[in-house]
Structure 1
Amino acid sequence: MSISTPMLVTFIVYILGMVLIGFIAYRSTKSFDDYILGGRSLGSVVTALSAGASDMSGWLLMGLPGAIFLSGISESWIAIGLIIGAWLNWRIVAGRLRVQTEHHDNALTLPDFFSSRFEDNSKLLRVISAVVILIFFTIYCASGVVAGARLFESTFGMDYQTALWAGAAATILYTLVGGFLAVSWTDTVQASLMIFALILTPVIVIVAVGGLDESMAVIEAKSLENLDMLKGLNFVAVISLLGWGLGYFGQPHILARFMAADSHHTIRTARRIGMIWMILCLAGAVAVGFFGIAYFQNHPEQAANVSQNGERVFIELARILFNPWIAGILLSAILAAVMSTLSCQLLVCSSALTEDLYKGFLRKNASQKELVWVGRLMVLLIALIAIALAANPENRVLGLVSYAWAGFGAAFGPVVLFGVCWKRMTRNGALAGMVVGALTVLLWKSYGYTDLYEIIPGFAFASIAIVVFSLLGRGPSEAAQQRFAAAEAEYQSK
C-alpha cells in the first residue's frame, strides 16, 4: 500500500501539536499534585471533554461502527447502556467524589482516597487497590497500543511491530513530559476532533448513497434483520450489553477528571456538556456503521477491506469519500481516541506506583520534584510493559477492553458508589467489596458460568459484600462520620 502524502503530513502535524501541548503543560507542572491532578484547576469544558475523550478509546471509531456494520442496529444496546451509566456517574458520583477527596487529606488518587476515607492504618486497602489498578490498567493500556498499531498498519502499510512503536511513541512522550495538564488539554482537542469526524462522516455517507430514504431502503433490501434491535439476542445478551454502563463508577481514569475539577459547582455544567458530547459521538459511530452497510452494498467493488475486517469501516469510508487532506484529519480522530485514553491510563498507573507504593512505603518524605520524576519514569515503565503485551498481532482490542472494564467496574465501582453515598461504610466493607468484585470477574471470565457479562455478577456480589461486612463490624469513627457529613453538606450547598 502506498503512503498518502496528505495523510502522512496531517498525522505528523497532529502528533507534533499534541507533543507541543505536552511541553507547554510541562512549564505549568511544579508539584506532584500538578502532575497527577493538574492542581485541581480544570474548568467545566475541559473536565467534560477530557472525561469523555479519556473514556472513549479507539473502540468508538473502530469497534462500535464495525459491530454495527456486521450485525446491524442490535449492537447499539451497548451504547444505550454506556449513556445511562455515564449519566448516573456524573449525577451521583462526580460532585461528591470531588468534595470527598478534598475533605479526606486532599487525596490525589483512588487508593489514597480509600485509605483516608475508611481510616485504613494497615495500608491494606491502598496496596490492594494499587495492585488492581496496575493489573487491569496494564491490560487496558495494551488494548490502546493494539488499536494504535492497527491504525498505523492499515493507513500506512507498516508491519505490525513498527506500527506498535509508531502508535505509542507520541502518547508516551506528551504524557511523560506534561502529566495531567497535558493529558487534559490534549483530551479537549482530541474530543473536538472526534465529534467533528463522527458528525461529518455519516452525513457524507448518506449523501453519497442518495439520501436518507434511499439509504434506509438499501439497508432494508439487504436484510430486514439489520433494523431489528433484538437480532440474535436473548434477555441475557441484552442485559450484558446494557451492563457495560455499570463500569463507569469504577474507572480510575474517568474518576480522576472529577477529582481534578476546580469545584463541585463546575460538575453540573460539565455533566451537560459531557453528556451531549457523548450522545452525539455514540450516535455518530452507530450511524457510520449503519449507513456504511448501504454504501458498500451499492459499491461492492470497494468493499474488500471491510469484508475482511468490519472494524475498518470508518477508515475506508473516510479514505474513499473525502479529499486526502480531510481524510487525514478524520483518521487523526481515531488516533485522538486512542491517544486520549492511553495517556490517561498511563498517568493513573504512574500515580498508583508513585503516590501509593513509592511514597507510601519507600520514600514517605520524598520531595515534590522527586515524585514528579519518579512519576515520569513509571509512565515509561508501564508503557513498555503494555507494548510488550500488545506485541502479539492476534490480540483483539474489544476483548482486552471488556476484561479491564469489567475488572475496574466490579472491584472499584461499588466501593466508590457506596463510599461517597453511605457514611456507615467501613474499611472491612471496602476491602471485601474490592476483593469479591475483582475475584468474581476473574473467575467468571475464566470458567464462563453463563454468557452473562462478568461485570454484572461482579458488581452485585461486591455490593452485597460491602453492606454485609460494613454492618457486621464496628461502625466508622466519629471523626470519619463528621468528615463525611461535612463533605456532603458542602456538596449539597448551592
Structure 2
Amino acid sequence: MQSIIIIEFILYLVLMIIVGYLVSRRSKSHADFLLGGKQLPGWALAFSERATGESAWLLLGYTGFVFATGLSGVWVAVGIASGIIFAWLFLAKRFMKEAKDTGALTLPGYLAYRFGKHGKIILWLSTILIFSFMMFYFGAQIAGAGKTLFAVFNIPTKIGAVLSVIVVIILAYIGGFVTVVWTDMIQSVMMLVTLVALPIIALVKISEADLSISEALVVAGPSMDSWTGGAIGFSLGLLLFNNFAWFFGFLGGQPQLSARFMALRSKKEANQGAFVAITWTLLAYSGAFMIGITALTLYQGQIFDDVEMILPFMILDLFPPWIAGILLAGILAAIISTADSQLLVITSSVSEDIIRHAMKKELSEKRLIAISRLTIVGAGIVGLIIALTSKSLVFLVVSWAWAGVGGTLSPAVILTFFWKRYSGVGVIATIISGLVSTIVWISTPLDAIATSRFTTFFIAAAFGIVFSLLFPNKKEKTSETVGTD
C-alpha cells in the first residue's frame, strides 16, 4: 500500500516541477516574475487565488477544528466564505484598475504610489509587517507538510519539512508568478477533489454502518451538537464573532491574494474569476466542514494525539491505496500552493518595494530577478527554521498571521479605495498600530477573549481614520513613481 502512495507522491512532485519549468519560459522581465505581465486568464488566477488562500490550514487545521468543536465550527467557514465572496465581487475589479493606472506590482507599492510623499516609509513599514508575519505563515505550511509526510509515510517530521521546502523553493525559483499560478491551478483542482470526494465516501460508510451523526455529536460532548457551541448571551456573541472574524482578513489586505486581483486583464476576466472562486469556495468549505463532522461519527470514542491529522487518517482508512495517494497529494498541493505564493510576497517586498523603490537602486531586469531568486532561497531557509522550532498548531499560527497582515492592511486598502480623506500619515498609523496591537494581543490572554483577527482590523482602522483627520494630505501633484518624495 505504502509503495503505491509513495510512487504517486513522487509522480505528483515531478509533474509540478515539469509544469513549472515549461511555463517559466514565459517569465522574461521582473514584472513577469512578480505579477505575470497581465497575460494570465481570469479562471486560472481564480484557481490560484483559492489555492493560495487555502492551505494546510483548510485541509488539516480547519477539519481538525471542526472535529474538536462540532457544529459551532461552521461559523469559521461562514466568515471566510463571506470574505472571499465580498473580495471577488467588490474589490477585485478595483484592484485590477488601480494596478493598471499606477503600474504597481505589489500591494505595498500601490499604497506607496497613492501616498507618494510618505511612500518610502510606507514601503519600509509594509515590508517589516509582511516579513514578520508571513514568515511564520510560511513556516506553518512547512510544518503542516512535515506532519502530513510523517502521518502517511512515517517519515520523520523534520526530514519531511526539509523535502517540502526544497520543492517549494524550486517552483517559486524557476518562474516566479507565472509558474506559481499554473501549478496552483492544478493543485487547486486536486484540493477540491479531496474535499468533495472524502465526505461523500464517509457519508456512504456512515449509512452502511447504520450510524447516526446526531447521536455521535451528542456522545462526543455536551456542546458538540449545538450550532452555538452551547454558549448563550455575551459568550454566544463572542463565539460567533470570533469565528466569523476571519472575514476581515479577506478585505484586500492579504498581498498574496490581492496580487491575483492586480494581475487580472479585464472586467470579463474578473467576472469569470469571481464565478470560479465563489463556486470553489462553497464546495471546498462545505466539504471540509463535513469531513470534521463525519470523522466524529465514524471514529467516535477514538483518541487522536493530533486532531489536525484526521483528514489523512480518514483517507488512508476509507480509500484503496491508489486513490488515497491522489487524495493525499491534495494536502501537499494545498501546502505547496500557499507556501510558494508566500515566498513570492516576501520576495517582492525585498526586490520591488525596498531595493527598487525605497532605496531607488537602478538595476537591470536580470539583476532584479537574480535578487528575487536569492530572496526566495533565503526566505525558504528561514521558514524551514521556524517550522522546525515552532510548537504551535497550524490553525493557531495561521490565525496570528491572518490578523497581523490581513487585519492590518485590509483597513488600509478599504480606506484608500473608498475614503478620499485618508492620508499618508493615516496609512503609517494604520500599519504601526496594526503591527503593535497584534503582537500585544496574541502575547496576552486577551486573544482568548476577543480574537486579534477582529481587534487588529478595527484598531488599525481607527488609528488610520483619526490620524488622517489630524494630519490630512497637503494638496500636491500625484507622484510619478512609487515611493518618490
TM range (shorter): over 0.9
Amino acid at match of 1:39: G
- What does residue 277 of structure 2 align with? 274
CA-CA distance at 1:410 after TM superposition: 2.4
- What does residue 460 of structure 1 align with? 458
Amino acid at match of 2:291: V
Amino acid at match of 2:270: I
Confirm or deny: 8 A CA contact 2:34 2:176 kept in the other structure: yes
Cα separation, partners in 2 of 1:458 and 1:361, compared to 1, 3 Å: closer
Confirm or deny: 8 A CA contact 2:218 2:224 kept in the other structure: no
In structure 1, C-alpha distance between the alignment counterparts of 2:399 and 2:28, rounded to whole Å: 36
- What does residue 338 of structure 2 align with? 341
Q: How does 1:385-404 map to 2 (within 5 A)?
A: 385-392=382-389, 394-404=391-401
Q: Deviations over 1:385-426 (max 9, x none)?
A: 000111126332122111111001222110011112223321
Q: Deviations over 1:415-443 (max 9, x none)?
A: 01111222332111111111112211111
Cα separation, partners in 2 of 1:121 and 1:435, compared to 1, 3 Å: closer
CA-CA distance at 1:207 after TM superposition: 0.8
- What does residue 439 of structure 2 align with? 442
Confirm or deny: 8 A CA contact 2:399 2:453 kept in the other structure: no
- What does residue 25 of structure 1 align with? 23
CA-CA distance at 1:198 after TM superposition: 0.9
In structure 2, C-alpha distance between the alignment counterparts of 1:398 and 1:228, rounded to whole Å: 22
- What does residue 416 of structure 1 align with? 413
Confirm or deny: 8 A CA contact 1:175 1:183 kept in the other structure: yes
CA-CA distance at 1:112 after TM superposition: 1.0
CA-CA distance at 1:122 after TM superposition: 5.6
- What does residue 241 of structure 1 align with? 243
CA-CA distance at 1:447 after TM superposition: 2.6
- What does residue 289 of structure 1 align with? 292
Structure 2 SS opposite 1:120: helix
Confirm or deny: 8 A CA contact 1:160 1:393 kept in the other structure: no
After superposing the two structures, state which structure 1 stretch, 267-276 or 323-332, moved more: 267-276
Amino acid at match of 1:296: Y
Confirm or deny: 8 A CA contact 1:410 1:434 kept in the other structure: no
Confirm or deny: 8 A CA contact 2:421 2:472 kept in the other structure: no
- What does residue 471 of structure 2 align with? 473
Structure 1 SS opposite 2:38: coil
Q: Deviations over 1:420-476 (max 9, x none)?
A: 222332111111111112211111112333610012222112212222222223446
CA-CA distance at 1:155 after TM superposition: 0.9
CA-CA distance at 1:114 after TM superposition: 1.1
Q: Deviations over 1:332-380 (max 9, x none)?
A: 0000110111010000000101111222355621011111111111011
Amino acid at match of 1:17: L
Cα separation, partners in 2 of 1:122 and 1:26, compared to 1, 3 Å: closer
In structure 1, C-alpha distance between the alignment counterparts of 2:323 and 2:224, rounded to whole Å: 30
Structure 2 SS opposite 1:395: coil
- What does residue 489 of structure 1 align with? none
Amino acid at match of 1:280: L
Amino acid at match of 2:293: F
In structure 2, C-alpha distance between the alignment counterparts of 1:215 and 1:255, rounded to whole Å: 43
Confirm or deny: 8 A CA contact 1:54 1:341 kept in the other structure: yes
2:96 equivalent to 1:94: no
In structure 2, C-alpha distance between the alignment counterparts of 1:265 and 1:422, rounded to whole Å: 27
Structure 2 SS opposite 1:113: helix
In structure 1, C-alpha distance between the alignment counterparts of 2:209 and 2:410, rounded to whole Å: 41
CA-CA distance at 1:478 after TM superposition: 6.1
In structure 2, C-alpha distance between the alignment counterparts of 1:397 and 1:220, rounded to whole Å: 25
After superposing the two structures, state which structure 1 stretch, 220-229 or 10-19, moved more: 220-229
TM-score (ref. length: structure 2): 0.93
Superposed CA RMSD: 2.1
Structure 2 SS opposite 1:72: helix
After superposing the two structures, state which structure 1 stretch, 344-353 or 168-177, moved more: 168-177
Partner residue of 1:255 out of 216, 241, 258: 258
Confirm or deny: 8 A CA contact 1:99 1:264 kept in the other structure: no
Amino acid at match of 1:208: K
Partner residue of 2:323 out of 320, 323, 326: 326
- What does residue 195 of structure 2 align with? 198
Structure 1 residue ranges, 4+ long, deviating more than 6 angstroms after superposition: none
In structure 1, C-alpha distance between the alignment counterparts of 2:480 and 2:82, rounded to whole Å: 32
Partner residue of 1:158 out of 143, 155, 158: 155
After superposing the two structures, state which structure 1 stretch, 363-372 or 146-155, moved more: 363-372
CA-CA distance at 1:121 after TM superposition: 5.1
Amino acid at match of 2:143: V
Partner residue of 1:183 out of 153, 158, 180: 180
Cα separation, partners in 2 of 1:407 and 1:477, compared to 1, 3 Å: same
After superposing the two structures, state which structure 1 stretch, 220-229 or 60-69, moved more: 220-229
Confirm or deny: 8 A CA contact 1:432 1:462 kept in the other structure: yes
In structure 2, C-alpha distance between the alignment counterparts of 1:213 and 1:178, rounded to whole Å: 51
Q: Deviations over 1:310-352 (max 9, x none)?
A: 2222111111111101000000000011011101000000010
In structure 1, C-alpha distance between the alignment counterparts of 2:260 and 2:209, rounded to whole Å: 38
- What does residue 121 of structure 2 align with? 124
After superposing the two structures, state which structure 1 stretch, 215-224 or 378-387, moved more: 215-224
Cα separation, partners in 2 of 1:120 and 1:213, compared to 1, 3 Å: farther
Q: How does 1:55-134 map to 2 (within 5 A)?
A: 55-104=53-102, 106-120=103-117, 123-134=120-131
In structure 2, C-alpha distance between the alignment counterparts of 1:113 and 1:416, rounded to whole Å: 10
In structure 1, C-alpha distance between the alignment counterparts of 2:139 and 2:326, rounded to whole Å: 25
2:142 equivalent to 1:137: no
In structure 1, C-alpha distance between the alignment counterparts of 2:375 and 2:358, rounded to whole Å: 16
In structure 1, C-alpha distance between the alignment counterparts of 2:277 and 2:119, rounded to whole Å: 38
2:13 equivalent to 1:11: no
Confirm or deny: 8 A CA contact 2:214 2:225 kept in the other structure: no
Confirm or deny: 8 A CA contact 1:410 1:459 kept in the other structure: yes
Confirm or deny: 8 A CA contact 2:113 2:479 kept in the other structure: no
Confirm or deny: 8 A CA contact 2:116 2:479 kept in the other structure: no
Structure 1 SS opposite 2:224: helix
Confirm or deny: 8 A CA contact 2:56 2:335 kept in the other structure: yes
In structure 1, C-alpha distance between the alignment counterparts of 2:150 and 2:134, rounded to whole Å: 24
Structure 2 SS opposite 1:61: helix
In structure 1, C-alpha distance between the alignment counterparts of 2:363 and 2:479, rounded to whole Å: 31
Confirm or deny: 8 A CA contact 2:424 2:473 kept in the other structure: no
After superposing the two structures, state which structure 1 stretch, 418-427 or 224-233, moved more: 224-233
Cα separation, partners in 2 of 1:221 and 1:246, compared to 1, 3 Å: closer
TM-score (ref. length: structure 1): 0.91
